[in-house]
Amino acid sequence: MLNLLIADDFPLFRRGVKELLVDGLGAVKVGECGSSHDLLELVRRQKWDLVILDITMPGSTGTETLKQLKLERPELPVIVLSMHPEDQYAIRMFKAGADGYLTKAGAPEELVKAVKKVLGGGQYVSPSLAETLALTVKTSTVGLPHEHLSDREYEVLCLIASGKTVSEIAETMHLGVTTISTYRGRILGKMNLKNNAELTRYAIQHGLAS
């Protein structure tokens, strides 16, 4: 029997993912957790065949959690399931060790297919993401200002560009308002931008805004 672990901080969403997995895969055992800390503890204590990981959870960014997970269990397959569009986060997550990337909007149609492919030893990307990855390689965007941001800074950038306030971002990332303001200042400095309007304009021009 397959042992699958869902890491997402919304219990109702975890329930929906569990139902999709049971309906599509049959006899599976599904574990759940809602924070990066709990995820790493469960992975250390039990054997899992695959992890389905959300990007934004209490305790850490998705990339930090994924890197730590792969450091401790490099053989454990991980599919990232996120509310963030593929062109915002997918490349970073694959570089951190992900074996698949899905948006939550596409999960009902793609999740079971992705799980089967990854458990079979492959990697899963949607057709639209495959096109994005090919274009990225072709145009070589390495060196653009946003490429030099840390993972947390990049996440704050995308959330600002989506129209969220500092308070809303703090709530989403489970961090303090002062911390988010500090990240915002670093982003503007690294990217040589003056304000949120310029930041949002940059994000739209480079396909980072949802």
- Choose among 75, 19, 25, 27: nearest CA to 51: 75
Q: Is residue 210 part of a domain?
A: no
d(CA 170, CA 17): 26
Q: Is residue 176 part of a domain?
A: yes
Last residue of a domain, one of 138, 173, 194: 138
Q: Are both 76 and 94 inside the same structural domain?
A: yes
Q: Given this model, what pLDDT does residue 182 score?
A: 94
At position 197, the amino acid (one-letter code) is A
Q: Are both 12 and 52 inside the same structural domain?
A: yes
Q: Are both 157 and 102 inside the same structural domain?
A: no
Residue 4 has phi, psi (to 5 degrees) of -115, 140
What sections of the chain are H helices per DSSP? 11-25, 36-45, 62-72, 86-96, 107-119, 127-139, 151-161, 166-173, 177-191, 196-205
Q: Given this model, what pLDDT does residue 133 score?
A: 66
Q: Is residue 100 part of a domain?
A: yes
CATH number at residue 31: 3.40.50.2300
Q: Are both 156 and 130 inside the same structural domain?
A: no
- Choose among 50, 8, 44: nearest CA to 29: 50
Q: Is residue 73 part of a domain?
A: yes
- Choose among 59, 87, 73: nearest CA to 154: 87
Range of the domain at 124: 2-138
Asked if residues 29 and 47 have their Cβ atoms less than 8 Å apart, the reply is no
Q: Given this model, what pLDDT does residue 89 score?
A: 80
Q: Given this model, what pLDDT does residue 41 score?
A: 96
Domains held by the chain: number? 2
Q: Are both 151 and 134 inside the same structural domain?
A: no
Put simply, whether the predicted model's pTM sits higher than 0.75 gets the answer: no
Q: Are both 117 and 200 inside the same structural domain?
A: no
Q: Is residue 174 part of a domain?
A: yes
pLDDT digit of tens for each residue in the chain (210 aa)?
A: 999 999 999 999 999 999 999 999 988 999 999 999 999 999 999 999 999 999 888 777 778 899 999 999 999 999 999 887 776 788 888 888 999 999 888 888 899 999 999 999 999 988 777 766 666 555 544 568 888 888 889 889 989 998 999 999 998 888 899 999 999 999 999 999 999 999 999 988 887 776
Q: Are both 86 and 186 inside the same structural domain?
A: no
Asked if residues 27 and 72 have their Cβ atoms less than 8 Å apart, the reply is no
d(CA 25, CA 133): 29
